[in-house]
Structure 1
Amino acid sequence: MNQPEVDKAHADIGLVCALHMEIQQFLDRCEHVKKYTGGSYVFRGGFLDQVKVAVVQTGVGFARARAATQALIDAHSPPWVLSVGFSGALDPKMKVGDIVVGTSVCDLHGQELKNDVQFPEDPEHGLYVGKLINADEIVRTVEEKLRIAEQYAALAVDLESLAVAQVCQAEKKGFMAIRAISDDCSTDLPPEVISILGETGAGRAGAAVGAIFKRPESIKEMWKMRGDASKAATRLGSFLEGVVTQLYEARH
């Protein structure tokens, strides 16, 4: 009797992130993680217990996220795709490390996709549920964040979630956007952040060194930024472990 053919490329859950740092803490919880490149994107796959996960690291920005999400779905056909990573808080009550689960994703140009996510909000323990907004570039200043929050009634801002949502809608895949706050509304991000984060999402060491020479006080700001990102990644990794497991169990 012939055994049913197993699709070894298939993944139970797909995850889309811009930066390796955003997903590293989650991958540390997985086993048998392998890395490969496809086109200009970095893929990683492994197992969280019995759940097979596939991750694509897109680099920064909407267009790259959209193309990489399509590549992930074409290669691994996951029934669920999660847009994960860092975001900037638009609500002054939010702290670094808080989690935002998106019930809708919009942009600054009037596009919006609603997402029927039933998730219990718990702000007291750093879990927020509501609208995410995609900006065209990193929103660096507190003034700009507060303006966007007032105009769009969004909780947090990132650069990629709407792109992932659009591809998932077209491909009829389950979608969630889960973001960890890496910068709050207390201070501006250093202006150097835009030049240091390259388009591919790989930190540009040369740009960092150049920034320090031009503005020596930026080194303190960048160390704080790195510490905040590390805190956000740790919380995100822990939260994703629970979500990925629950999504898998709900299907099986």
Structure 2
Amino acid sequence: MLLRWLVGNWIQNQGRDLVQQQLAGRVAGEGEPVEAPETIEVACFFALGIESGGLYDMLESPQTIKHDGFVEHLGLLDGRLISLVETGVGSKKARKTTEQYIELRQPQWIVSSGFVGGLAEPVKKGHVVMASSVVRAEREELAIPLSMSPEQAHAQPGLHVGRLLTVDKIVRTPQQKRQLGEANGAIAVDMETYATADACAAGKTRFLSVRVITDAVDDELPKNLERLVEQTSTAKMIGAAAAAFINRPSSVQDMWRLRETAMKASDRLARFLQGVVPQLG
């Protein structure tokens, strides 16, 4: 989970996001107007561009629209018009964007996508998780109907079907991950899925969750880097990052390793989603 925050809020600002804007070529308010559809069949929701980057690279004729509070990328995936929506991080942003988007486009399907942390031993870095249900503290469990059983998923290497946990804070240590996994019977953890699923249920929109593991249950995330995600502004985040680099120069290498992990995970997720999207209709 920390991978997303670090890469999305620090490196992403200087990397893939800029490339994507150049490739898109047309942004609402710049150049030719974007002809957006009144309705969309499938919308894949991501917190940040680093998560959607792999799938964005697969789109034909991508166009970007900046809405109030979220970003939408429209394009053809194997000839079918789909939407990639960047909601921002956390449940509040995910819920608000979901509600806005349902009203805006009336999507038939919303797919909650992106990065997750592993909470169980069989779930490894780079594996894909399809949630059969999602839970969060003091909330009712939400079931997610799937046509695939756990047994069928088990027959596919690197794919897991199970319960997903949504939390409000980063889960950093193996001990914390194991405790949460055992207490909730969950195999992975994120920060948006429950809010998106709940808003879809209220809006009578079909929902699916497909995510990729970026840190396994035994992966301990660096403590000094955790401070970055606690910052409330980009300026404060830059200051915290600079302090981390000064106190521990190897933090720079950590950031680039995290970037590479995130890029590979995004591409892995994109390949899987490329097979899922045609089945939604």
User: TM-score normalised by the shorter chain: which range applies?
Assistant: 0.7 to 0.9
Cα pair 2:116 2:188 within 8 Å, conserved: yes
Distance 1:18 1:199 in 2: 16
Pick from 22, 26, 40 the counterpart of residue 69 of structure 2: 40
Deviations 1:191-238 (A, max 9, x none): 32452587799xx55543332123333334333322221221111000
Cα displacement (A) at 1:71: 1.7
Deviations 1:91-132 (A, max 9, x none): 122221100000000012243101111223136610000100
Distance 2:136 2:42 in 1: 25
Residues 1:218 and 2:251 are matched in the alignment: yes
Distance 1:152 1:104 in 2: 11
- Corresponding position of 2:27: none
Cα displacement (A) at 1:40: 2.1
Gaps (5+ residues) in structure 2?
1-35
Pick from 153, 157, 182 the counterpart of residue 125 of structure 1: 157
Paired amino acid for 1:182: T
RMSD over aligned Cα atoms: 2.2
CA separation of 1:84/1:200 partners in 2, compared to 1, >3 Å: closer, same or farther?
A: farther
**TM-score of the two chains, using structure 1 as the length reference:** 0.88
Paired amino acid for 2:48: L
Residues 1:240 and 2:281 are matched in the alignment: no
The structure where helix makes up a greater share of residues is 2
The structure where strand makes up a greater share of residues is 1
Cα displacement (A) at 1:11: 1.1
- Corresponding position of 2:22: none
Cα pair 1:103 1:130 within 8 Å, conserved: yes
- Corresponding position of 2:228: 195
- Corresponding position of 2:8: none
Distance 2:227 2:137 in 1: 19
Look up the SS of the partner of 1:121 in the other structure.
helix
Paired amino acid for 2:263: S
Cα displacement (A) at 1:190: 1.9
Paired amino acid for 1:132: L
Identity %: 34
Gaps (5+ residues) in structure 1?
1-6
**TM-score of the two chains, using structure 2 as the length reference:** 0.79
Q: Residues 1-252 of structure 1: matches in 2 within 5 Å? A: 8-119=37-148, 120-122=152-154, 125-191=157-223, 192-193=225-226, 195-196=228-229, 205-247=238-280, 251=281
